[in-house]
Every structure is written in C-alpha cells, then in structure tokens.
Amino acid sequence: MVTSISSVYEEGPFDVAMVKLMPHPMFHMKDRLDVQIVGVAGLDPVDGVSESGQSKPHVVQSEGSDGVFAQGYPVLVIGTGLGSEKLNPFTPACAPLKFGHQAFFRCSAAPGVHVVTGDYGHMDFLDDSSPGS
C-alpha cells in the first residue's frame, strides 16, 4: 500500500508546488502555455457519454493517437468501478466503458499506472453522499 507519493517518486521528494490542474481542452494549448508538463493524471476521466457526445477535440482516440494521454508523459489514471453502470434505463452511464478510464489508459503511452476504486461511481469524486450513489 502506498502511503505517500514520495515513497514511489524516484527522483527525490515530491514538490506539491509543481502540481497544476489543467482541464483537457487547455492541454491542446500546452505549447502556448508557460508550463513544463512532466506527467498527466486523470480522475475517472470521461470523453463523452456517446459517439455524438464525445468532446472535441477528442481526448480518447484510437491506437497510435495523439490524444492528451498518448503524448509520452508518465500517466496515472484513477477510475471508478461503478461509473460505467447506468442509474436507470433512460439515461447513459456517467463514464461509459468506451469513453471512460479504461479507454484513457488504453490510449496512454508508457509508463503508466491504472487504479480502479471498485465500490465508487463517477460522481463520488465530487460528493460521496450524492443521490444515487
């Protein structure tokens, strides 16, 4: 069990000041930003709930894609075990298998780590007592 990021970070202590949050549309502007990207992490990432609802530009793409997770940076993908389940037959899942964490990791360049929190759903990252969780 990992108790500290420093215990798995090989190049010395982890510097929290280096952590930056960047929504995926901004990643496509990375060459115009004054930041050095050294890794990418996704918290139950989702690239839409259907083919027609996929974000543009697409983040999850086919093998050999140039999507955000395929840029050659070390990748950490944290997914949920329940995010691909529908709440009812009339609404799509929050994080369908085809566009969820599994797809992000599959499109990632090495090195990468894929962690799944089995008993949690997509919205649990925001509020673990939300209706339907």
The label of the residue with tokens 């085809």 reads 98
pTM above 0.85, yes or no: no
Going from N- to C-terminal start, the domains of the chain cover 66-133
Report residue 4's pLDDT band, with 50, 70 and 90 as the boundaries.
Answer: very low
CB 72 within 8 A of CB 109: yes
Residue 2 has pLDDT above 60, yes or no: no
Radius of gyration of the chain (CA): 16
**What percent of the chain shows pLDDT beyond 70?**
55
Structure tokens at 56: 């543009």
78-128 pLDDT, tens digit each: 999 998 898 889 988 888 888 888 888 888 877 889 999 988 888 777 665
φ, ψ dihedrals at 31, nearest 5°: -70, -20
